[in-house]
């Protein structure tokens, strides 16, 4: 590229836009659907049961320990498809770029997206680029949408949750929130925390192929484990009891939460899975999770109960019970 920084002209639709698309985006994402650079991508799908999702990414800073906004934008959309039982196939990617960002930074992020998509076996097949004036954006915002296919025999829904079911989580909670927050605020940690940002579809495939007792799955992003469980409790009409002592939280995350006044149960995760499974299949699913590197710290954290309906209770580390409410207000802005 001739220029080191993105200029408004890179969004003009003219020569510089063409150069940007050729040298940055197409170079990284190249595939048979994208390369004709049509206004749309045209493709065949092997089934009629599809999952479709979209998400925007505004994380600040755009590079953080364990990932960057590009990796996050691919993983986040893959995960939204995966927790519905879908095999993710195709993504779109739209970029809103602030004038002045270094082309090298943009390339780093785009390559990170390409690598994440390649390893996950998904293709980025259509996209868009806009440039806004300096001060009208904050470096880079990305929107990705995704399409996945669902096998006929997989039917996951909170409406299938029943009292007596078990609640599993695939690993430690709070890593992403603390990684982004401490990096953004320049808080030096003795043991730095890395984001758990990762695609979950392989872990989902592993567990769904081992057991048909999975009722529902979610990835606890913004609002954390506590908020996601409240959403599941509310939509299923069941209650939930989880045990604080059984919820995996890394020591360094616990330490950071104590210092900064955060609760790890409300912090965002970007590579964790919550699964509600029938009582009989809990041990099979837990074993399957633990055999996968993404689920090696998986734990059985609680049970579904009939009341209080739509609420989540926490058995605290000292054994008393209290309500575990949804996140109120904004614990951390622009975390994903």
Partner 1 sequence: MKYIDEFRQKGIAHGILQKIHDISRKRVTIMEICGTHTHTISRYGIRNSLPPHVRLISGPGCPVCVTSPGDINRIIEFCKREKDTIIATFGDMMRVPGSESSLQEQKAMGKDIRVVYSPLGALDIATANPEKEVILYAVGFETTVPTIAVTILLAREKGIRNLSAFALHKLTPPAMKALLDSGEIDLHGFLCPGHVTAIIGAGAYKFLAEDYHAPCVVAGFEPLDAIHGIYMLIRQLEENRTEIEIQYKRVVTWEGNTKAQKIIEEVFEICDSNWRGIGMIPVSGLKLKSTFADFDAEKKFSLENTANEDLRGCACGDVLKGLITPGQCSFFGKTCTPETPIGPCMVSFEGTCAAYYKYNLSHVLHPPLTPYASS
Q: How far is residue 179's CA from residue 169's CA, in Å, rounded to a whole number?
A: 20
How many residues bind partner 1, per CB under 8 A?
Answer: 23
SS3 labels along 155-216: CCCHHHCCCCCEEEECCCCCHHHHHHHHHHCCCCCCCCCCCCCCCCHHHHHHHHHHCCCEEE
Question: Minimum CB separation from partner 1 for residue 104, in Å?
Answer: 25
3-state SS class at 229: helix
Given the rule CB under 8 A, which of 31-39, 117-125, 270-278, 313-321 is the region that contacts partner 1? Answer: 313-321
Q: What are phi and psi of 305, to 5 degrees?
A: -125, 170
Of residues 73 and 230, the one with the C-beta less far from partner 1 = 230
Among 212, 258, 280, 306, which residue sits at the site for partner 1 (rule: CB under 8 A)?
258
Among 254, 284, 292, 297, which residue sits at the site for partner 1 (rule: CB under 8 A)?
254
Of residues 91 and 265, the one with the C-beta less far from partner 1 = 265
Q: How far is residue 129's CA from residue 39's CA, in Å, rounded to a whole number?
A: 13
Of residues 48 and 320, the one with the C-beta less far from partner 1 = 320
Question: Minimum CB separation from partner 1 for residue 300, in Å?
Answer: 18
DSSP secondary structure code for residue 56 in this structure: E
Residue 255 sits in the site that holds partner 1 (CB under 8 A): yes
Given the rule CB under 8 A, which of 87-95, 142-150, 258-266, 278-286 is the region that contacts partner 1? Answer: 258-266
**What residues form DSSP beta bridges with 149?**
50, 87
DSSP 242-267: EEGGGS---HHHHHHHHHHT--GGGS
Residue 320 sits in the site that holds partner 1 (CB under 8 A): yes
Residue 135 sits in the site that holds partner 1 (CB under 8 A): no
Question: Minimum CB separation from partner 1 for residue 240, in Å?
Answer: 13
Q: How far is residue 317's CA from residue 200's CA, in Å, rounded to a whole number?
A: 29
Residue 188 sits in the site that holds partner 1 (CB under 8 A): no
239-243 vs 123-132, strand pairing mode:
unpaired
Interacting residues toward partner 1 by CB under 8 A: 185, 187, 245, 251, 254-255, 258, 260-261, 308, 311, 313, 316-323, 325, 328-329
């Amino acid at each position: 590229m001739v220029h080191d920084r993105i200029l408004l002209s890179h969004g003009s639709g003219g020569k510089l836009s063409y150069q940007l698309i050729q040298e940055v985006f197409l170079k990284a994402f190249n595939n048979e659907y994208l390369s004709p650079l049509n206004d749309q991508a045209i493709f065949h799908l092997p089934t009629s049961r599809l999952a479709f999702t979209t998400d925007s990414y505004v994380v600040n800073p755009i590079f953080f320990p364990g990932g960057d906004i590009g990796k996050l934008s691919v993983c986040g959309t893959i995960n939204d498809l995966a927790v519905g039982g879908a095999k993710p196939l195709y993504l779109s990617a739209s970029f809103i770029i602030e004038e002045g960002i270094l082309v090298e930074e943009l390339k780093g992020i785009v390559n990170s997206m390409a690598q994440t998509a390649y390893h996950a076996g998904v293709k980025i097949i259509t996209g868009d680029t806009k440039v806004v004036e300096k001060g009208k954006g904050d470096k880079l915002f990305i929107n990705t949408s995704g399409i996945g296919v669902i096998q006929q025999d997989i039917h996951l829904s909170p409406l299938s949750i029943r009292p007596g079911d078990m609640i599993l989580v695939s690993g430690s909670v709070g890593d992403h929130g603390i990684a982004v927050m401490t990096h953004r605020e320049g808080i030096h940690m003795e043991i730095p925390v890395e984001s758990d940002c990762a695609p979950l579809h392989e872990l989902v495939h592993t567990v769904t192929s081992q057991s048909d007792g999975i009722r529902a799955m979610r990835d606890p992003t913004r609002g954390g484990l506590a908020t996601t469980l409240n959403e599941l409790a509310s939509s299923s009409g069941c209650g939930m009891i989880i045990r604080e002592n059984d919820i995996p939280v890394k020591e360094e995350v616990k330490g950071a939460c104590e210092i900064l006044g955060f609760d790890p149960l409300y912090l965002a995760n970007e590579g964790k899975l919550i699964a509600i499974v029938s009582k009989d299949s809990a041990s099979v699913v837990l074993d399957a999770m633990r055999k996968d590197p993404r689920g090696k710290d998986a734990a059985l954290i609680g049970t579904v109960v009939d009341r209080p309906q739509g609420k989540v209770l926490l058995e605290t580390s000292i054994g008393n019970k209290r309500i575990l409410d949804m996140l109120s207000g904004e614990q951390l802005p622009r975390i994903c």
